[in-house]
């Protein structure tokens, strides 16, 4: 053990054991940092390079997704604009068709009303002619009945003989 003590003292100028905590921590820290720099440089460098590569790839992927989203948005806006234009066109066509059909219905209605007026006028004329003919027949029948009644009242035998003689005279001549 004497040998160890001898080595641990500063007088011999060799390897020694330092009991000052501040100095020893500093030396240990320098040794650890030196070891990490020498040995861990490659490991840390590889680790950081992999991380950088992964982050760069994620950024590129995000930019690609953004570009795709922008393209999809542009396409969707274009489709929306086209759909709106198509809807306006369909609405305008529907309104024009509605106006045209409305005008046709009104024209057809007016024609039907005119046809009904003409038909009603013809039926009225027909009924009037029928009524007039019935009235003429009734008047003629009533006139004959009245004449027959007057003849029966005013015609006696002597008047009948005279009428017959005149009629024969006119026929014979």
Residue 20: the pLDDT is 67
Which tens digit of pLDDT belongs to each residue from 69-98?
Answer: 999 999 999 999 999 999 999 999 999 999
Q: Does the reported pTM lie above 0.85?
A: no
Average pLDDT, the chain: 84
Question: Alpha carbon of 24 to those of 13, 16, 20, 28, 55: distances in Å?
Answer: 18, 12, 6, 6, 41
Burial of 8 (0-12, 13-18, 19+ CB in 10 A): middle
Both tokens of residue 146?
Answer: 């009245």
**Alpha-carbon torsion 67, 73, 75, 78, what sign?**
negative
**What mean pLDDT comes out for the span 91-116?**
92
């Amino acid at each position: 053990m004497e040998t160890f003590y001898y080595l641990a003292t500063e007088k011999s100028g060799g390897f020694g054991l330092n009991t000052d905590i501040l100095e020893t921590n500093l030396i240990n820290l320098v040794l650890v940092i030196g070891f990490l720099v020498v040995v861990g440089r490659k490991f840390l460098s590889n680790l950081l390079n992999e991380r950088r590569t992964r982050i760069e790839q994620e950024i590129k992927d995000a930019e690609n997704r953004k570009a795709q989203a922008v393209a999809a948005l542009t396409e969707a806006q274009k489709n929306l604009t086209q759909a709106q234009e198509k809807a306006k066109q369909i609405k305008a066509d529907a309104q024009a068709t509605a106006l045209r059909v409305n005008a046709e219905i009104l024209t057809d209605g007016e024609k039907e009303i005119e046809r009904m007026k003409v038909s009603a006028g013809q039926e009225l004329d027909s009924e009037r002619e029928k009524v007039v003919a019935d009235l003429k027949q009734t008047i003629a029948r009533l006139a004959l009945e009245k004449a027959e009644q007057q003849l029966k009242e005013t015609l006696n035998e002597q008047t009948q003989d005279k009428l017959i003689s005149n009629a024969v005279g006119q026929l014979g001549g």
